[in-house]
Structure 1
Amino acid sequence: MTEEVPSRRSCDRISNLPINAIDDILTRLPLRDAVRTSILSRKWRYAWAKVLKLTLDESLWKDLSTREVRVKLGRILLHLFSLRQGPIKECRIFIPKSKYFPEVDNLIFFLSRNGIEYLVLELPKGEKYKLPSSIFTSSKMRHLTLQYCVINLPTTFQAFGKLLRLQLFNVSISEKHLEKLISRCPLLENMELDISNPLNYIQVNAPNLKFFNFGSKIISICFKNTPLLAELSIMADNVNHGPVELIVGDDVNRDFVERGTCNLVEFFGSLPSIKNLRLENFIIKTLIAGIDEIPMKLPMPLLNLKKIYLFDICLSGVDDIRFLLCLIKSSPYLEEIVIINEAINNERGDDLTAFKVLEAEYDSGIKLNRLTKVRLIDINGTKAEMEFIKLLLATSPVLEKMMISPFYIGPESPQTLVEILMQANTFQRASPRAVVNF
């Protein structure tokens, strides 16, 4: 009895795959390879045209000139416009070469009309791409990432009513339009902003915002309606154009900076849910400038604050120390402190005054009952710095680890290292488990 040979039709497993499996395969392929699957069988011929995800990534433009990129992009659009079936929910667009392509306008218009929910537009450095108004008609947008663009909101813009995440990197936008954009995303939960043009002041109105990373030049920022904001980072040093200057020649009104649009009490009063906080010294200065005297403690305790990360704060500066003490004493459940010290000036005249302010805290009954980790970076051994270390060790009963990174300034640094280590080891420790490491 001869064994029956399976027919070719029964062996064609590729053609017999279920539609959802085909879709899953195609979404994982670059567009070029997805289109090539049309030759596999009749069932696969136009399957790529129904896939919900579209990726125009680096592989499409490898080793192509600007002209060749433009021609290829035109062909891709022709296929999309003529063969596309159904919505495109997710799209990542990477366009190389610093050249403006009208074809990108057409693609964004097409996506806006086809139910786009997740859009990432990555453009190269150079002249920024002026974002077309059609993108603001995408009522289903849930995630929007833009890079190297110019944004001018059209007067007809109503809202991104479903947007949950907004990322703007090296984007140019006015203060007025930025405020309007944020306030018209009522469900926004996650926001990362790197605005390339300097800003004077913005007001953040985002009732569902939980995470906010702001890395742009700005003088003052106010949180009007952010009851759920748990993670906040304002670090201008994160951006490529360098740290912000509080007063930049004639570009910024000096009275505006000195007055402080949003002061210390107002700022933290608008952050009842704050859990992790990262601030650079430039924003601290503006918060302090808005009040006559830095309070010993905020009117409202920061009951959710667990971690503070302060960059470029001077532990030998009186105002900086008073701000730091105010923040610490207002945070009863603080668990971790990370400070990058401004150690560029070892002989500041207010070091002794800052030392005395810290010394007086021993009589204030300060207790950091939840603090377990401390990291101090760029310490150079001034009286105020060492007194701050001593205060933390004496008032933190559950402290586990304190990391101290000295500021290296020359051949004398090893000696400074030894002096800091020897002095720190003489300080009384409230926690029997506390370890000081370098």
Structure 2
Amino acid sequence: MSRCATSKICSDLSNSIICELPIDVLHRILDLIPIKHVVRTSILSKHWRQLWSTQPNLVFDPLFFQYVSNIRDSAPSIIHKIIMKHIGPILGFHLISKTDSFAQSDVDQFIIFVSNHGIQKLTLDMANNEKYVLPDSIFTCATLTHLKLSRCFFKLPVGTKFPYLVSLQLENSTIDSPVGSNIISLVLPMLETLELTCCADVDCVDLVCPKLVSLSILSSYRVTFECFNVNPIFTVIKHLCLDGSSLKNLGSYHVPDRLDVSLTLQSMRICDLKISVKRIICALCLLRNSPNLIELDIDEVVKVDETICHSEELFDYLSKAENQVNEALGMIQTVRLRKFKGTTTEMYLIQVILAHSPKLERMIIEQCKKSHSTSGNQHLKTLISYLRASPNAEIKYT
């Protein structure tokens, strides 16, 4: 038998095996392929001819836009052709472009179309200079479970309710402020994850999220300790992520010794932490009011002030606040410090954590990429020599 004939038999056998796979498995295979190649699968066989048009997840990512640029075509035009030829439900629609901008009317058409085809997961992240204004149709889309918006502007209609939304991520987005002191109520009965990054006017929204588990607030919501006392959201979440500016906002008001409520936090992450006495006091307050908290994650200590004045002020406070520190770190089992640079303040912070965490099991320190390995070895030797309150505490330096 010739090599050509053998190759044809193997090819036919391979096609036969693949064609016998369930349709949902074939769709998962197509999910792993860039959309420009998904369309090309129609030439494989009669079985594949219409398969691409039933693909439930449509991803238009940087690879797609690079392909469009190479063939010098119009991205909105191609996307429009793809969705108009689509057959069946569209469960996922992801428009992610760091280079291409879209006309308001084009995106409106996309959203109206997918809203009528059972959309569950929607991502909008476009390189528009002006924020994209969401159409009203998005607020009547009851099938949405995951919504991720970047550089968007929207006005919430009265009575807006996403009954099945599980995850909501907003970045560089703005909610239209109501006239006067009116507060907009947004009911999200199934929401578990909420992320707000560099968003404006989210304070005007009263979020009703009884099942919220994870909350991330980065340079957005003006969090106060009063929010923790009054807003039910803060008493039900198990995972909280704040950044340095959020801690600064907390410290701009009176820092209570005790909150009126007990928090159910299991983990807390602090990003871009600029060490100061005020921020440390705020962090300790949250930790002390979270009796179930076992994980602490500090994602980069930035702009550390190494002047003698500020360093001595911090060291002096921590040395006198031993009872508060003991209470705050009493249940911590895992601590992770990312982008470690080996500054004096970072080393002292680690020393304090090790000395006051009796249940600590793991201290994971991730060295900043710009640091030298030789300095890393020196830091590790110093860290190992620190006194540990927990005999089981292990230091992992990566």
Do the two structures share a fold, i.e. TM-score over 0.5? yes
From 227, 247, 257, the equivalent of 1:284 is 247
Question: Residues 212-253 of structure 1: CA distance to partner in whole angstroms, max 9, x if unpaired?
Answer: 2222344x23xxxxxxxxxxxxxxxxxxxxxxxxxxxxxxxx
Aligned residue for 2:113?
A: 110
Once structures 1 and 2 are overlaid, which stretch shifts more, 107-116 or 299-308?
299-308
SS in 2 for 1:135: helix
TM, length-normalised to structure 2: 0.69
Give the Cα–Cα distance (whole angstroms) in 1 for the partners of residues 198 and 165 of structure 2. 19
Question: Residues 25-78 of structure 1: CA distance to partner in whole angstroms, max 9, x if unpaired?
Answer: 5555544444444445555443433333333344544364599543x6435534
Greater helix fraction, Structure 1 or Structure 2: 2
Letter in 2 for 1:396: S
Q: 1:332 deviation in Å? A: 4.0
Distance change (3 Å), C-alpha of 1:421 and 1:100: same
Aligned residue for 2:195?
A: 192
Aligned residue for 1:49?
A: 53
SS in 1 for 2:122: strand
SS in 1 for 2:216: strand
Q: How is 1:229-248 mapped onto 2 (pairs within 5 angstroms)? A: none
Aligned residue for 2:103?
A: 100
Give the Cα–Cα distance (whole angstroms) in 2 for the partners of residues 79 and 326 of structure 1. 53
Distance change (3 Å), C-alpha of 1:41 and 1:150: same
Question: Residues 265-321 of structure 1: CA distance to partner in whole angstroms, max 9, x if unpaired?
Answer: 616985334444433343334334443x631x4454445445554753545x2x445
Q: 1:148 deviation in Å? A: 2.8
Aligned residue for 1:370?
A: 331
From 121, 126, 136, the equivalent of 2:124 is 121
Q: 1:338 deviation in Å? A: 5.0
Q: 1:14 deviation in Å? A: 8.2
Give the Cα–Cα distance (whole angstroms) in 2 for the partners of residues 321 and 361 of structure 1. 13
The 8 Å contact of residues 104 and 133 in structure 2, kept in 1 or not, is answered as: no
Give the Cα–Cα distance (whole angstroms) in 2 for the partners of residues 137 and 100 of structure 1. 22
Q: How is 1:17-56 mapped onto 2 (pairs within 5 angstroms)? A: 17=20, 20=23, 23=27, 26=30, 28-56=32-60
Q: 1:186 deviation in Å? A: 2.1
Give the Cα–Cα distance (whole angstroms) in 1 for the partners of residues 259 and 145 of structure 2. 37
SS in 2 for 1:284: helix
Q: How is 1:239-318 mapped onto 2 (pairs within 5 angstroms)? A: 262-263=225-226, 266=229, 271-291=234-254, 294-295=256-257, 297-302=258-263, 304-307=265-268, 309=270, 311-312=272-273, 314=275, 317=277
Letter in 2 for 1:294: P
Aligned residue for 1:330?
A: 289
Q: 1:211 deviation in Å? A: 1.6
SS in 1 for 2:172: strand
Distance change (3 Å), C-alpha of 1:138 and 1:436: closer
Aligned residue for 1:355?
A: 316
Identity of matched residues, % = 27
| Structure possessing the higher radius of gyration over alpha carbons | 1
Give the Cα–Cα distance (whole angstroms) in 2 for the partners of residues 87 and 37 of structure 1. 20
From 79, 83, 88, the equivalent of 2:90 is 88
Aligned residue for 1:131?
A: 134
Give the Cα–Cα distance (whole angstroms) in 1 for the partners of residues 87 and 139 of structure 2. 23
Q: 1:357 deviation in Å? A: 6.9
Distance change (3 Å), C-alpha of 1:267 and 1:405: farther
Aligned residue for 2:162?
A: 160
Q: 1:161 deviation in Å? A: 1.7
Give the Cα–Cα distance (whole angstroms) in 2 for the partners of residues 198 and 60 of structure 1. 33
Distance change (3 Å), C-alpha of 1:278 and 1:149: closer
Distance change (3 Å), C-alpha of 1:283 and 1:137: same
Matched positions, count = 368
SS in 2 for 1:271: helix
